[in-house]
């Protein structure tokens, strides 16, 4: 298995989330009601899985290792574009969460913002994934020896193992903070 195979497999999971997001976007547009629980799940999925896990491997491992190589101008430019796109996804997700929180406080005022940011993510991810899958990931493997690829793949697996503990340690810390303030 190549390191990019693991990343591409993660893309398929992200794509699975896009269909329910599209359906919910349509439903919310019709009813003019936001399902704040659904938006919370979307935000958590994108923030944790798509960004922290998936983009974390790309930026923290693959791109880090590619930065050590003499990349073609095309690949160097594309890697910078992908990083900017990751930043865009983070910002849009943060804006979606803020719009949802605002909607919960004062229903109609933030409906359009929720719809806009959800739509932005629905439109963004398929294009971003296609760029990585078809134009960047596999060509980028040519810069690495088979041994370097295997070391990267192992680092991906190690990254995943640590991530779940990191996520829930933060959750526990937050719960302890909340409950200690209630006393």
Return the domain boundaries, the chain.
Answer: 3-181
Residue-wise pLDDT for 93-134, tens only, equals 999 999 999 999 986 678 999 999 999 999 999 999 999 999
Indicate the pLDDT class of residue 170, thresholds 50, 70 and 90: confident
- CB 88 within 8 Å of CB 124: yes
The answer on pLDDT for 27 being more than 90 is yes
**pLDDT value at residue 180:** 85
Q: Is the pLDDT of residue 20 over 70?
A: yes
pLDDT above 70 (res 183) = no
pLDDT at residue 108, rounded to an integer: 67
> Does CATH place domain 3-181 in 1.20.1260.10?
no
**Burial degree of 23 (CB within 10 A; 0-12, 13-18, 19+):** exposed
Total length of the chain:
183
Are residues 83 and 131 in contact, defined by beta-carbon separation less than 8 angstroms? no
Q: Report pLDDT for 144.
A: 97
pLDDT classification of 174: cutoffs 50, 70, 90: confident
Structure tokens belonging to residue 51: 């960004």
**Mean pLDDT along residues 139-161:** 95
Per residue in 41-99, pLDDT (tens digit) is 999 999 999 999 999 999 999 999 999 999 999 999 999 999 999 999 999 999 999 99
Q: What pLDDT was estimated at residue 106?
A: 84
């Amino acid at each position: 298995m190549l390191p990019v195979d693991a990343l591409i497999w993660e893309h398929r999971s992200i794509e699975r989330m896009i269909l329910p997001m599209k359906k919910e976007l349509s439903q919310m547009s019709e009813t003019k009601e936001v399902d704040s629980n659904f938006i919370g799940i979307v935000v958590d999925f994108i923030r944790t899985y798509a960004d922290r896990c998936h983009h974390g491997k790309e930026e923290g491992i693959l791109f880090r290792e590619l930065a050590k190589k003499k990349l073609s101008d095309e690949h160097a430019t594309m890697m910078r574009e992908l990083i900017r796109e990751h930043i865009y996804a983070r910002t849009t997700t943060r804006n979606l969460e803020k719009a949802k929180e605002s909607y919960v406080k004062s229903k109609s005022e933030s409906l359009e913002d929720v719809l806009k940011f959800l739509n932005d993510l629905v439109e963004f991810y398929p294009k971003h994934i296609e760029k990585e899958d078809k134009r960047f990931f596999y060509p980028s493997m040519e810069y690495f020896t088979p041994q370097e690829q295997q070391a990267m793949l192992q680092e991906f697996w190690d990254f995943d193992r640590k991530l779940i503990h990191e996520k829930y340690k933060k959750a526990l810390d937050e719960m302890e903070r909340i409950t200690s303030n209630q006393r």
